[in-house]
Structure 1
Amino acid sequence: MSRIAALMPSRELWRTPLLSGTTSLWILCLVLIAGCDHPQPPFRVGTNIWIGYESLYLAESLDAFKGSPIRLVTMPNTTQVMSALRAGMLEAAATTLDEAISMAAHLKDLRVVLVFDVSHGADVIVSTPNITTLAQLRGRRIGVESGAVGAILLNAGLEAAGLTPADVQIKHLTVDEHAQAFLSQQVDAVVTFEPVRSQLLDQGANLLFDSSKIPGRIVDVLITTERIAHNHPETLRRLINGHFQALIHLKQNPEQARQSMTTRQRLPMRELEQAFQGIELPDLATNHHLLQGEPAPLLVQTTYLVKLMQNQHMLDQPVDMQNCFTANWLPQP
């Protein structure tokens, strides 16, 4: 694996019917966490490596969770995160909105309680140097993840050029294959995201399209269930409060805050700063706006996503997201 591939985070849910050996190992670790001698049962929050989730780890470093049962669990990818949540080994998880939709098919009382970030340029279509326009993708090989995030961006980019998926050769690549496939010329373009965006552009790739052209469509959220929320109300509120405390610290002390993130993200400061330029971090007022109302604005986007996922055969059963969004656990604005 190349250095770039080793740096890549995973945001997509790789749909696997059975727990893999790696997933089983992670669940064993979570069982051990649950068995530790805590004054309260641990409130385990699963994440993978993605800049939008760094607020939780920043909050932890600021002692926002000190004395609480909150335990942040970094997992290699969202396959493990979602499998652990379904197995009852996590109380909450950081996911993309399409992953939340997939989980809602299995967790009927799933709740979206926080919006971490909205992609605004971090997700991109990049091409080899000889391809300079979207129209030139006709007949070309495009690497893309099998989840909805990749499909959203690819469909939007192709539509902007008057193309359809039938006009290109789509190669489904797992996230750890993006850079290697691109740099070894196995594909002519790839749908990817930060920090790989910056890595490939530094090596001469052309930026053809990015998520700033489709604002509001690619979103990362915190999910739990209604049962867990009502069994752990104060802990859930403290977790969410910590996120907003971290955002304030990031705004007031950006260099200090980002310095603490470079090790976890395995990125130099310059590239980390570039990565943050590609996402929006909704504040408390914006979170209230997105998660409440009739309908909640985020529900409107979710309806679009559900239809897309159904058309792409990404859902194996109907999903009703009507009651999944709540601002009840947010601090008052």
Structure 2
Amino acid sequence: MKTSLRALTQFLIIAIGAALALAGSASAAQKTAFKVGYSIYVGFMPMGYMKESGILKKWADKYGIEIEMMPINDYVGSINQFISGDLDAVGVAGMDALTMPAAGGVDTSIFLITDYSNGNDVLMSKSATSVADLKGKDVYLVEYSVSHYLLNRALVMNGLSGVGEVKTVNISDADIAAAYLSNADIQNAAAWKPMTADMIAGSPETKVLFDSSEIPGEIMDVFIGNTQVLKDNPAFGKALTGAWYEALAAIKAGGDTAKPVNDYMASALGTDQAGLKTQIDTTFFFYTPAEAATFLSDAKTGTIMDDIRKFSFDRGLFGQGATSVDAIGIELADGTVLGDPANVKLRIDASYAKLGADGGL
């Protein structure tokens, strides 16, 4: 999860830019069958339980539609499928919604926020005792991912100018834990759970320098949909949102009510209940639609999106044709726009959460 790469973004923009422009302008039209993809990450795992338990089918039947829920091992691949139109919705990190489909020309809406990282994402070191000590040092991470964003925020918040003060070394999320534990030359790294838990446990000298609990709300996990698909098919957004909050209510209830959800999530994540708890404890779930609606509509969320777009542009993630941070418009929940109002490609849509909060689903 969370591996947004500049090279892939550029490829998508060049290879299918024309097709995306056509898709963005064409009406999606009403449909009755939908496909949703998600990656293996704690914030998305209730989606699998919704399918296995029958909750998803119940809500889809309520609206007379069908929703196919699919776990996808390749996170970037799942976003590719969304961009090409093979998925109607997909789970992503909020930053990736901007730097991949939106930057590639797909009019994209964040219509369901699942959680934000509240300690899952970590900057760590075997030798440094403070973030400032990293100046001039190598830091291993998945470049242009939320780990890169976390590093930048950590440096700025600790008196440095940003990622230009260190040397980032790209490494895949599949390799970073083993490399950190086996290679003495790798002293500093940024990653997310479950890798970080293994990295810290397996390296007693490791010190956590900074984690995402220090930037609450900034590393958010969301489900995005094609704006036109949602506009033409509001039943899809309503059914998925309703099913999601029914599953989340079970988790929040705890005890016997939560047990089947937790058992499913632990198994799907390849861990036990203790391992699941360590991930949930550092994940801030929006357990009710009212909480989600409040967050999506908050002025602070606009500030977060502003920080994300500035970082993304500075790292070249808007594509070669983008000459300004304002090249891509981001419409906030209150209708205000960051960037170019004539080129809005990412929208914060709190309407489904508000419906749920008002009992309208």
TM-score if structure 1 supplies the norm length? 0.83
Q: Distance in 2 between matches of 1:327 and 1:285?
A: 10
- AA partner of residue 286 (structure 1): E
| Aligned with 2:313 (options 289, 300, 310) | 310
Residues 229-248 of structure 1: CA deviation (Å, up to 9, x unaligned): 13332222111111111111
Report the counterpart of residue 349 of structure 2 in structure 1. 326
1:53 to 44, 50, 72: 44
- Give the secondary structure class of the aligned counterpart of 2:54: coil
Aligned equivalent of 1:112: 110
Match of 1:222 in 2: 223
Q: Which residue of 1 aligns with 2:181?
A: 183
In structure 2, the residue matched to 1:73 is: 70
Cα distance in 2, alignment partners of residues 104 and 80 from structure 1? 16
Partner of 1:264: 268
Deviation at 1:184, TM superposition (A): 2.2
Which residue number corresponds to residue 29 of structure 1? Answer: none
Deviation at 1:11, TM superposition (A): 1.5
Distance 1:43 1:222 in 2: 14
Classify the secondary structure of the residue corresponding to 1:220. strand
Length, aligned pairs only: 301
What amino acid is the match of 1:151? H
Deviates more, 1:270-279 or 1:160-169: 160-169
Contact 2:143 2:169 in 1 (8 A): no
Residue 148 of structure 2 aligns with an amino acid whose one-letter code is: A
Aligned-pair distance for 1:114? 1.1
Q: Contact between 1:104 and 1:321, CA under 8 Å: does it hold in 2?
A: no
1:64 aligns with 2:87: no
Q: From 118, 121, 125, give the equivalent of 2:119.
A: 121
C-alpha displacement of 1:41: 4.9
2:279 maps to 1:275: yes
Moved more, 106-115 or 259-268: 106-115
Structure 1 counterpart of 2:137, from 121, 140, 149: 140
CA shift digits 1:29-87 (9 cap, x unpaired): xxxxxxxxxxx753111111111001211222331122631111222232111111111
Tell me the amino acid that sits aligned with residue 278 of structure 2.
Q
Give structure 1 stretches of 5+ with no counterpart. Answer: 1-9, 20-39
Structure 1 CA distance for aligned equivalents of residues 278 and 171 of structure 2: 24
2:168 corresponds to which residue?
170
In the alignment, the residues of structure 2 paired with residue 11 and residue 249 of structure 1 have an alpha-carbon distance, to the nearest angstrom, of: 26
1:248-274 Cα deviation digits (max 9, x unpaired): 101113443211112211122212100
Moved more, 272-281 or 169-178: 169-178
Question: Partner of 1:59: helix, strand, or coil?
Answer: helix
- 2:302 is aligned with 1:299: yes
2:209 alignment counterpart? 208
- Residue 291 of structure 2 aligns with an amino acid whose one-letter code is T
SS at match of 2:189: strand
Aligned-partner residue type, residue 289 of structure 2: L
Residue matched to 1:4: none
Partner of 1:31: none
Aligned residue among 273, 282, 286 for 2:291: 286
Residue 91 (structure 1) aligned to one of 88, 94, 98? 88
After superposition, what is the alpha-carbon deviation per residue over 1:291-317, rounded to whole angstroms, capped at 9, x for unaligned?
337xx5433311211011111112113
> Matched residues, percent identical?
21
1:157-211, Cα deviation, whole Å (9 max, x unpaired):
2234434434433101121121122112242111111111211221123211101
Conserved? CA contact 2:110–2:222, under 8 Å? yes
Contact 1:134 1:161 (8 Å CA) reproduced: yes
Map Cα deviations across residues 73-124 of structure 1 (whole Å, 9 max, x no partner): 2222321111111111000111111111122123453111011111111110
Equivalent-residue separation in structure 1 for 2:104 and 2:135 (angstroms): 38
Contact 2:141/2:147, CA 8 A, preserved across alignment: yes
Residue equivalent to 2:197: 198
